[in-house]
Amino acid sequence: MEIREYRPEDCREMAALFYDTVHEVNAADYIKEQLDAWADGKVDTAAWNRSFLEHDTFVAEENGVIVGFADMDAAGYRVMKEQQVVRKGVKLTNYVMKKIFD
């Protein structure tokens, strides 16, 4: 798994990953209405791109495919991972924490 900084061309793939993560990984913990409220599939990619650029945003890739991302600012953070790598998120989390606290 490679971890790198966010690039604007990542935005659409990250939006799809967010939707898939909410509706697949979190489906056991929330009802459909909650999942749809959290991620309805309608994404303003310009707004998301601005947000990612304003935050410290990192992307995890495997074989050229985005499998996770993390972004944070002073108010909070988001960490999303593809279902197949949910148990491998430590590398991404550790990378982000090191960047922030070093």
Contact 11, 45 (CB under 8 A): yes
pLDDT of residue 33: 95
Contact 93, 86 (CB under 8 A): no
Q: Which domains does the chain have, with CATH numbers?
A: 2-101 (3.40.630.30)
Per cent of the chain over pLDDT 90 is 39
pLDDT of residue 62: 86
The token duo for 36 is 């749809």
Segments in the chain below pLDDT 70: 77-102
pLDDT of residue 73: 80
pLDDT of residue 6: 97
Burial class (CB in 10 A: 0-12, 13-18, 19+), 58: buried
